Chain A
Amino acid sequence: DQQVKQNSPSLSVQEGRISILNCDYTNSMFDYFLWYKKYPAEGPTFLISISSIKDKNEDGRFTVFLNKSAKHLSLHIVPSQPGDSAVYFCAGVLGGSARQLTFGSGTQLTVLP
């Protein structure tokens, strides 16, 4: 049972345009959500998060939107840069003392110069 799904394995965007990465979840108990970015041969690095009580969080070029009724979140990158080319994972986190992240399968973003 995949509790977090990223249905698009890949996305290509022109430099300067907006990148929108999507994520769906089934577990209503997730307390917050995280986005990670991963380059080849490196571990994932934390990008941005959103609490389940919020519907938007912004950090520079990155904005995450949460639609709880649709159990959907999206990461917007504006403007996209070639250095943003990486695999992006969304992850749900249960509340309490749980430190287990439930990840989606990732989306490979390629930003074309």
Chain B
Amino acid sequence: KAGVTQTPRYLIKTRGQQVTLSCSPISGHRSVSWYQQTPGQGLQFLFEYFSETQRNKGNFPGRFSGRQFSNSRSEMNVSTLELGDSALYLCASSSRTTGPYGYTFGSGTRLTVV
């Protein structure tokens, strides 16, 4: 079956701009979580969506937002980009029954802010 698809793979934006990243989960998975990976910081949890509702949110400023559609696809948006937002953004999908054990990660979107 198809894995988690993230688009685009690479993105270069300028400070102050906004960006939208997309994540299509594995078919049948209704939970989508987003993580930010920066060098030396590991993966930091951004938020989790289930059935179009945000269930959990990490410690990130309000410039980071997301949403989930009825087909479980999810988008995250970062407004007023800062240089420190340069990172690999990963999304992971899972089903209700598998929980975090069943997390499948996408390959990520590499965002560079210049």
From 32 to 69 in chain B, residues with beta carbon under 8 angstroms from any chain A beta carbon are 33, 35, 40-45, 48, 55-56, 58
Most buried by A among B33, B40, B45: B45
From A44, A45, A101, contact of B45 by CB (8 A): A101
* B: contact size bracket: 20 to 34
Can you list, as one digit per residue, whether each of A88-105 has a CB less than 8 Å from chain B (1) or not (0)? 010101000111111111
For the complex, is A22 an interface residue (Cβ under 8 Å from B)?
A: no
* A: contact size bracket: 20 to 34
What residue in chain B is nearest A105 (Cβ atoms)? B42
CB of B90 within 8 A of CB of A104, answer: no
Can you list, as one digit per residue, whether each of A73-113 has a CB less than 8 Å from chain B (1) or not (0)? 00000000000000001010100011111111110000000
Distance of A22 Cα from B63 Cα, bound (Å): 34
Question: Hey, which chain B residues are within 8 Å of A98, CB to CB?
Answer: 56
What is the CB-to-nearest-CB distance from A75 to chain B, in angstroms, rounded to a whole number?
A: 15
For the complex, is B26 an interface residue (Cβ under 8 Å from A)?
A: no
CB of B107 within 8 A of CB of A99, answer: no
CB of A49 within 8 A of CB of B56, answer: no
For the complex, is B25 an interface residue (Cβ under 8 Å from A)?
A: no
For the complex, is B74 an interface residue (Cβ under 8 Å from A)?
A: no
Distance of A6 Cα from B99 Cα, bound (Å): 24
CB of B101 within 8 A of CB of A101, answer: no
Question: Hey, which chain A residues are within 8 Å of B104, CB to CB?
Answer: 43
CB of B105 within 8 A of CB of A44, answer: yes
Question: Hey, which chain B residues are within 8 Å of A45, CB to CB?
Answer: 105
For the complex, is B94 an interface residue (Cβ under 8 Å from A)?
A: yes
For the complex, is A13 an interface residue (Cβ under 8 Å from B)?
A: no
Q: Decide: A105 near B101, CB < 8 A? Known: A43-B92, A43-B107, A99-B48.
A: no
What is the CB-to-nearest-CB distance from A95 to chain B, in angstroms, rounded to a whole number?
A: 10
Question: Hey, which chain A residues are within 8 Å of B107, CB to CB?
Answer: 41-43
B residues in contact (CB < 8 Å) with A: 4, 31, 33, 35, 40-45, 48, 55-56, 58, 90, 92, 94, 99-101, 103-108
9 further interface pairs, Cβ-Cβ under 8 Å (given A43-B90, A45-B105, A99-B94): A34-B101, A43-B4, A89-B42, A98-B56, A99-B99, A100-B48, A101-B45, A103-B44, A105-B40
